[in-house]
Amino acid sequence: MRERHGIRVVMHRATDAPYIDLRVDDGQEINFGQLSLKVIYTPGHTQDAMCLLFRDRIFTGDTLLIGGCGRTDLPGGNAEKQYDSLSKLKALGDQIRVYPGHDYREAVSTLGDEKQNNPRLQIASKEEFIHFMTSRKPPLPRKIQEALEWNRTPIQGTQRGMGEGI
């Protein structure tokens, strides 16, 4: 897609992926046409996780899921940072619509609904959150090592082939 359509790959500066066209920082605006997305750096699921705020909508990746949040036990994950990142999102307006990276439940929610109903946002303290996140051991995603390796491999011409997502 990048080569065929001239798409630019945008990631947070903290990424270790080598094929990025634009590395962005917290608070930066990503402009496209007349529109722009605001970067909110939200490490925790990964060290380079970010959310993108667009007017009254936010794309939350795997930081905030509907009724949950991204796991923090995979490489680059950090429960304490995830707590701080979720707190950052909680400080935004209730009416903002949430579009997560996975639709395990409904495809869209609002920050207000999540603050009221998402069990991960009800945990009273950072310590309890860290305890909760670090005491769970869900199975590893299939082929995670291959996928991580793949993500860190430079693109050589068009020889990158078909990767499997996680």
Where do contacts with Fe ion occur on this chain (CB under 5 A)? Answer: 62
CB of 47 to Fe ion, least distance (A): 12
Closer residue to Fe ion, CB minimum distance, 48 or 62: 62
Closer residue to Fe ion, CB minimum distance, 102 or 131: 102
Closer residue to Fe ion, CB minimum distance, 71 or 109: 71
CB of 46 to Fe ion, least distance (A): 7
- How many CB atoms lie under 10 A from the CB of residue 17? 15
CB of 70 to Fe ion, least distance (A): 6
Selection from 79, 16, 14 nearest residue 48 by Cα: 14
Neighbouring-strand partners of residue 40: 51
DSSP state of 119: G
- Measured from each CB, the residue nearest to Fe ion is 62
Closer residue to Fe ion, CB minimum distance, 116 or 145: 145
Neighbouring-strand partners of residue 36: 31
Neighbouring-strand partners of residue 99: 59
CB of 166 to Fe ion, least distance (A): 6
C-alpha Rg value of the chain to the nearest Å: 16
Torsion of CA 119, 121, 126, 129, to 10 degrees: 30
Closer residue to Fe ion, CB minimum distance, 36 or 59: 59
Q: Return the amino acid letter for 37.
A: L
CB of 45 to Fe ion, least distance (A): 6
Q: Which two tokens stand for residue 22?
A: 């634009």
